[in-house]
Amino acid sequence: MLSRSSRRLLNLHEYQSLGVFSKFGVGVPKFEYAKTPEEVEACANRITGGKTSEKVVIKAQVLAGGRGMGYFKENGYKGGVKVANSPKEAAVLSRNMIGNTLVTKQTGETGKPCNGVLVSEFFNITAEKYFAILMDRSFGGPVLIGSSKGGMSIEDVAAQYPDAIVKMPIDINKGLSQAQAREMAEKIGFVGETSVDSAVDTIMGLYKTFVDCDCTMVEINPLAELKDGRVVVSDAKVNFDDNASFRQKWIHDQRDRSQEDPREVEASKFDLNYIGLDGSVGCMVNGAGLAMATMDLLKLHGGSPANFLDVGGSAQADQITAAFRILDKDPKVKSILVNIFGGIMRCDIVAEGIVQASKQLGMKKPVVVRLVGTNVDKGKQIIKDSGMKIIAIDDLTKAAVRAVELSKTIA
């Protein structure tokens, strides 16, 4: 459940994650990031040592999984991960990616913009494993998750080969020991002294990254074993706790807002918890639990919420105005339901924000307001005296029904 203290989690691109890993001694391939085809060729030349006929890998950098099976909307080009036979070919292939929008099974049809590509050394992989570190409430701390079947969706592995999933809880106070890292490496299929030792070093480095960088997840798929026995991170996804941003400024400064819903970016500027959905009734509620209940009620009465929007317990008038601006600009929103249970959040403050927003934005979308709690009478009076077309309804069910009706009658 979302709350004021449980905010969205920062995601980094693969090239950024590899950069973080390298600082903690994790085995990573030679790589560079490029934003133009010309840069791609230059990067590839450096990685290959100037060898004009050596292979390199290029990967579209978007914050979504399934890149290799995706396609680019503008030109229909298939695949966001390619092996190029030379630096020049890498530049040619990258022209189909850079500046276009990649659609994968995780992005939906909207896709995500590809502003650059990761250029990486090409190597022969002899075995692919899956490895991840997550915070798990049921274990009361971090847990290592691994599988000998890497390079494919871990969800598919869990469904088809449940016995192939290995879990190892770690005592957050004691940390990860060499013995535990070795046990994990062997359980997920690394064999031979060189490979096991390399896997242990990599697992220890990944755990140090997880703890020291305030990660909420580190996922490596695949964790690759090479011909010479080295173990390297071949593909990575890392999430970081936003609540630790004051400790990890160097990481959080790498946030790529072009990959995010612009509505969520705007909401974060005003410390609003916002998640865009596909419905037609805009919701503005204080408290995550009340927001979920409000959304359920809309569905129950034949409507569909256009968003989750929790303004929290201490929002001011300017935050209310910002929330309305986001809802008003969303073309999918046909009506707006405001549901406020005033405790710390005073109903008169909410009412002032609603009226202020309606006047500033010249809002034409119908607004249904249900206020209960601290200073509720004062809040109702503010709405009444405003002269604005704001529908005040005390009963939540009736307010939800009315908002749904309006969403279906407004073109």
Question: Catalytic site residues?
Answer: 130, 219
- Residues 6 or more apart whose CB falls under 8 angstroms from that of 267 comprise 273, 274, 309, 322, 323, 326
Q: Evaluate whether 306 touches 331 at the Cβ level (below 8 Å).
A: no
| Dihedral sign for Cα atoms in the order 66, 241, 22, 181 | negative
Nearest partner of 121 among 242, 28, 30, judged by Cα: 30
Q: Is 217 exposed, middle or buried (0-12, 13-18, 19+ CB in 10 A)?
A: middle
Phi-psi label, residue 175: left if phi above 0, alpha if psi -120 to 50, beta otherwise: left
Residue 6: which residues within 8 A CB-CB, separation 6 or more?
Answer: none
HSE-CB for 38 with a 13 A CA cutoff: 0
**Running DSSP on this structure, what letter comes out for residue 253?**
T
287 residue type, one letter: G
Question: CB of 160 within 8 A of CB of 179?
Answer: no
Q: How far apart are the first and last CA of the chain?
A: 33
- Specify whether the CB–CB gap between 392 and 351 falls below 8 A: no
Asked if 167 and 154 count as a contact pair (C-beta separation under 8 A), the reply is no
